[in-house]
Amino acid sequence: MMMKSTQEEAVRFDQQDILSKYRNEFYLIPNQIYLDGNSLGLCSIRAEKTFLETFESWKRDQIDGWSSGEYPWFYLAEMLGAKMAPLVGAKKEEVIATGTTTVNLHQLIATFYHPEGKRTKIIANDLDFPSDIYAIKSQLQLHGLDPEEHFLSVKSRQGRYIDEEDIIACMQDDVTLMILPTVLYRSGQLLDIERLTREAHQRGILIGLDACHSVGAVPHHFHQWGVDFAVWCSYKYLNSGPGSVAAIYVHEKHFGTVPGLAGWFGSDKERQFDMSHVFEPSRQAGAYQLSAPSILNAAPLIGSLSMFEEIGMGSIREKSLSLTRYMMLLIEEELQGWGFVIGNPTEDHRRGGHISLEHEEATRICKALKEANVIPDFRAPNVIRLAPIALYTSYQDVWEAVQRLKSIMVEGKHKVYSHERGVIA
């Protein structure tokens, strides 16, 4: 009979973990186990430092902060884009830090969606994050097209995953564009983007990605795969703070494509202050900016990204997979018979950065977990998302979190809470 995992084993894993030192760089609350970093990453000392340095430059340099100091504001979007490029396997010119995820998605659909003849449809899927669907449908309506006819949603077979074969089957000759997530936000399924990009391009279909739930947890190779465009936020796995700047990737083969939505900060930087009423866009991803960068919102990302530069995505992915694999093992050992179902893919190559634990009492269990100082994330109707983060979650955290969850179930602590979820889940 196999021996159950022990706390001593978790301690040994932490002692062997080459990334364990980075835990000390984050503001952790004593006795709290934070497992919601796939929704909002924690504040780090480095992010705080670059935020305060940037704030100080506003006080000190005033208007000259745009052109002077360690991080001149005028070039900050490009500098951050270059730092994020290795995270997605892109050239530095292909990434720009700008806007918010949904605004950026609107920009790129407006740029690359050109319905012609019978090619009018956009593919998404019925497990997508709602904001993406809202953006797609509103863009169709701006073209005077009925979403009921021109929006094609790939159906999930079991409510957890989207089968790549089903996506490919929808790639018919009436489709011109597809918008897909790299990782499904509920189940954590990692789609085979390389294959889907190849299949789409063979059929003359452009592919755009929402990479919010993978960037900083999963390495990508967008340029090599030929992905046409992508968007992502930076406040989840990149730990840049609530509402921090998002990002756009556009493959260099599309450089020169006129932005669907033009804005002054999309100008060629050498000509921007000519103040011409004739738009001369940048010849790189910067063309798809709309407005001046939100400097103070972007500042924490400078510090946060420095850790990713030091470590590299290979090591981060290795630990992330190890943590989620360990958590699944503990769940199977400790929570058998309590009605839990692991709803994320168990295979490493199909799993993003979080565990999707399904239970009919998920709402109440999440409330009890918070009371027990374990911070989860609830997603309707029955998902408890648990995200151990490579940079600041320890193996002992994972072990202890499962023990606290087991205690909740054994003692029925969740039963004192209502089924009603909070306004913010």
Residue spans of the domains in the chain: they are 7-30+312-416, 49-310
238-268 in b/e burial notation, b at 16+ Cβ within 10 A? bbbbeebbbbbbbbeebeeeebbeebebbbe
Q: What number of residues does the chain have?
A: 425
DSSP string, 271-334: TGGG--SS--B-SSGGGG--S---HHHHHHHHHHHHHHHHH-HHHHHHHHHHHHHHHHHHHHHH
The answer to whether the beta carbons of residues 384 and 2 sit under 8 Å apart is: no
Residues annotated as binding site? Answer: 101-102, 129-132, 210, 213, 235, 264
Q: Is the separation of the CB atoms in 339 and 359 below 8 Å?
A: yes
Whether 123 and 178 have beta carbons less than 8 Å apart is answered as yes
Q: Fill in the DSSP letter of residue 70.
A: S
Phi, psi of 392 (to 5 degrees): -140, 0
pLDDT at position 173: 97
User: What pLDDT sits at residue 1?
Assistant: 44
What are the phi and psi torsion angles at 230 (to 5°)? -155, 160
Contact 265, 291 (CB under 8 A): yes
Tens digit of pLDDT at every position of the chain (425 positions): 457 899 999 999 999 999 999 999 999 999 999 999 999 999 999 999 999 999 999 999 999 999 999 999 999 999 999 999 999 999 999 999 999 999 999 999 999 999 999 999 999 999 999 999 999 999 999 999 999 999 999 999 999 999 999 999 999 999 999 999 999 999 999 999 999 999 999 999 999 999 999 999 999 999 999 999 999 999 999 999 999 999 999 999 999 999 999 999 999 999 999 999 999 999 999 999 999 999 999 999 999 999 999 999 999 999 999 999 999 999 999 999 999 999 999 999 999 999 999 999 999 999 999 999 999 999 999 999 999 999 999 999 999 999 999 999 999 999 999 887 776 66
**Is 54 within 8 Å of 295 (Cβ atoms)?**
yes
Sign of CA dihedral 319, 320, 322, 326: positive
CATH code, 7-30+312-416? 3.90.1150.10
Does domain 49-310 sit in CATH 3.40.50.1370? Answer: no
Q: Where are the alpha helices (DSSP H) in 17-116?
A: 45-61, 76-88, 101-112
CA gap 97, 107 in Å, rounded: 14
Annotated binding site for pyridoxal 5'-phosphate: 101-102, 129-132, 210, 213, 235, 264
Q: Are 151 and 182 in contact (CB under 8 A)?
A: no
Angle at 123 between CA 117 and CA 125, to 5 degrees: 160
My answer on whether omega of the bond before 242 falls inside 30° of 0, hence cis, is no
Query: Could you tell me how far CA 21 lies from the centroid of its own chain?
Result: 24
C-alpha to C-alpha distance for 11 and 227, rounded to whole angstroms: 41
pLDDT for 296: 97
**Cα dist from 196 to 124, 202, 206, whole Å:** 13, 10, 11
Q: Is the separation of the CB atoms in 374 and 35 below 8 Å?
A: yes
Kind of pairing, strands 247-250 and 229-232? antiparallel
